[in-house]
């Protein structure tokens, strides 16, 4: 089940909200957490019931290991506590290795996300950044919360522990949450899906049919698709969590406005970057042990980042590609970018990211190689033909809308409207949200193309 489906929007979500808010506010949050836990298991089992045991197993393993780690840390027996932290890490990484990388099983949805959350809990308990959760319902809810279960954001236990035990829900958080959810739904359904159809149309061409213009347009469409797809999902996740009374960290901050690759990766998939920084880069020494060690640490992090996305050579090359630019910026390039006009540094960042998505778009090197030939004018259809010209012209307005949608301009304009007092401003926002929701539902009713790119990770 995905958020952008009629089943979720008209049946599952309304039922969850009704049951959740039927629990009296005077009762402990454990009861509401139980509702979320049970519905989250049902949400996960809807698509892949055979793998529900895998998530339950991971939850039990880290509940026990985290509890034991906390027990021994409290008694100053840190070496014993390390054993249980190690068990947590080994078991979760083994689950990933077997079910994601061995290639013998269908990839369980969300396994890359909930295993990282589980590991972070045990590690944070050992470090003293979080107390071990004694209530199994609260911990089960943390691991399985359906709003961010499948594609993040990756939420560390220390970010949400207090909210699991004590949180208040008010009309403002519900209003904000629903607004954020609908905006994310619109990003996904009205923009990402359209961009994805353009890319798939071009990617499905035979080599003899693909022109240089269509090849470049295809990657531009993919660049928009992956942003609106993933950031849209994150918006929906953050919105739903707000409705249930939780506040979780942002996952995107207009990355296509970045003026460097360093800045881009501080604004794209923020929760994954923070996870690798907190649990890999800093423990390895970060940038505290000289340039050679720093570059090695960056290499390890980006090799693992590529591996996290997939085992094929394309993802490895994608990780090392960005590793190269990050090291170059750390040594000398970032100083140069600070001196030149911002427009040129912005163009540099967009060009590097554009070719990075070219590596990311395929899971095999053959598809990438064939597409590169078309981009360089080495395909059979030449530079441009009537079909590619039609694709370019007919989608020009959509491309402009998506280019604007990637920036902070829409948010700036929305703030201008909402700052104004009175019925008019509220009415404008209400109409805006209603239109996005109705258009999204109408598209879902009639459309057939509705993938989520990050489900494959």
Query: In angstroms, how far apart are the furthest CA atoms of the chain?
Result: 74
Exposure class string for 79-92: b at 16+ Cβ within 10 A, else e: eebeebbebbbebb
Yes or no: say if 112 and 9 are a contact pair by the CB < 8 Å rule. no
**Which among 309, 346, 366, 368 is annotated as catalytic?**
309
Any catalytic annotation for residue 368? no
Yes or no: say if 63 and 139 are a contact pair by the CB < 8 Å rule. yes
68, 75, 149, 345, 375 from 64: Cα distances, Å: 6, 17, 21, 49, 53
Yes or no: say if 158 and 130 are a contact pair by the CB < 8 Å rule. yes
Which one-letter DSSP state was computed for residue 334? H
Between CA 189 and CA 183 the distance in angstroms is 10
Question: What is the helix, strand, coil percentage profile of the chain, to 5?
Answer: 75, 0, 25
Between CA 454 and CA 226 the distance in angstroms is 9
* Residues in the chain, total: 457
In the chain the first and final C-alpha atoms are separated, in Å, by: 16
Residue 285's contacts (CB-CB under 8 Å, 6 or more residues apart) are: 293, 294, 297
Between CA 130 and CA 228 the distance in angstroms is 33
Which one-letter DSSP state was computed for residue 108? P
Yes or no: say if 440 and 186 are a contact pair by the CB < 8 Å rule. yes
CA atoms within 13 A on the CB side of 3: 32
CA atoms within 13 A on the CB side of 34: 8
Between CA 92 and CA 89 the distance in angstroms is 5
User: Could you list the active site residues?
Assistant: 309
């Amino acid at each position: 089940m995905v958020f952008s489906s009629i089943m979720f929007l008209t049946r599952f979500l309304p039922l969850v909200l009704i049951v959740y808010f039927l629990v009296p506010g005077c009762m402990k949050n454990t009861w509401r957490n139980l509702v979320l836990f049970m519905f989250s298991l049902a949400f996960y089992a809807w698509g892949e019931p055979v793998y529900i045991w895998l998530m339950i197993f991971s939850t039990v393993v880290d509940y026990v290991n985290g509890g034991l780690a906390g027990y021994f840390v409290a008694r100053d027996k840190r070496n014993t506590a390390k054993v249980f932290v190690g068990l947590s890490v080994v078991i979760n990484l083994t689950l990933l290795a077997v079910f994601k990388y061995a290639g013998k099983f269908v990839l369980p949805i969300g396994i890359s996300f909930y295993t990282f959350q589980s590991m972070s809990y045990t590690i944070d308990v050992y470090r003293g950044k979080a107390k071990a959760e004694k209530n199994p319902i609260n911990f089960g809810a943390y691991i399985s919360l359906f709003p961010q279960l499948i594609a993040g954001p990756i939420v560390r236990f220390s970010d949400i522990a207090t909210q699991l035990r004590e949180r208040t829900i008010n009309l403002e958080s519900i209003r904000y949450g629903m607004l954020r959810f609908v905006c994310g739904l619109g990003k996904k359904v009205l923009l990402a899906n359209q961009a994805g159809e353009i890319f798939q149309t071009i990617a499905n061409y035979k080599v003899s049919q693909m022109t240089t213009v269509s090849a470049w347009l295809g990657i531009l469409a993919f660049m928009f698709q992956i942003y609106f797809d993933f950031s849209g999902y994150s918006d929906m996740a953050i919105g739903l969590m707000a409705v249930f009374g939780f506040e979780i960290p942002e996952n995107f901050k207009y990355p296509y406005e970045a003026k460097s690759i360093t800045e881009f990766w501080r604004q794209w998939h923020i929760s994954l970057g923070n996870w690798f920084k907190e649990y890999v880069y800093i423990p390895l020494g970060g940038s505290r042990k000289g340039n050679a060690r720093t570059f090695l640490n960056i290499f390890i992090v980006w090799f693992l980042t590529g591996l996290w996305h997939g085992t094929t050579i394309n993802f490895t090359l994608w990780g090392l590609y960005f590793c190269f630019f990050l090291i170059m910026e750390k040594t000398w390039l970032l100083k140069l970018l600070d001196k030149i006009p911002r427009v040129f540094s912005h163009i540099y960042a967009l060009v590097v990211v554009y070719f990075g998505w070219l590596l990311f778009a395929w899971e095999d090197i053959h598809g990438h190689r064939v597409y590169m030939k078309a981009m360089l004018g080495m395909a059979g259809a030449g530079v441009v033909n009537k079909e590619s010209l039609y694709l370019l012209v007919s989608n020009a307005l959509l491309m402009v809308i998506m280019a604007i949608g990637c920036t902070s301009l829409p948010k700036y304009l929305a703030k201008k409207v909402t700052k104004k007092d009175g019925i008019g401003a509220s009415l404008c926002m209400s109409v805006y949200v209603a239109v996005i929701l109705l258009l999204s539902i109408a598209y879902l009713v009639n459309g057939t193309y509705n993938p989520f790119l990050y489900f494959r990770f």
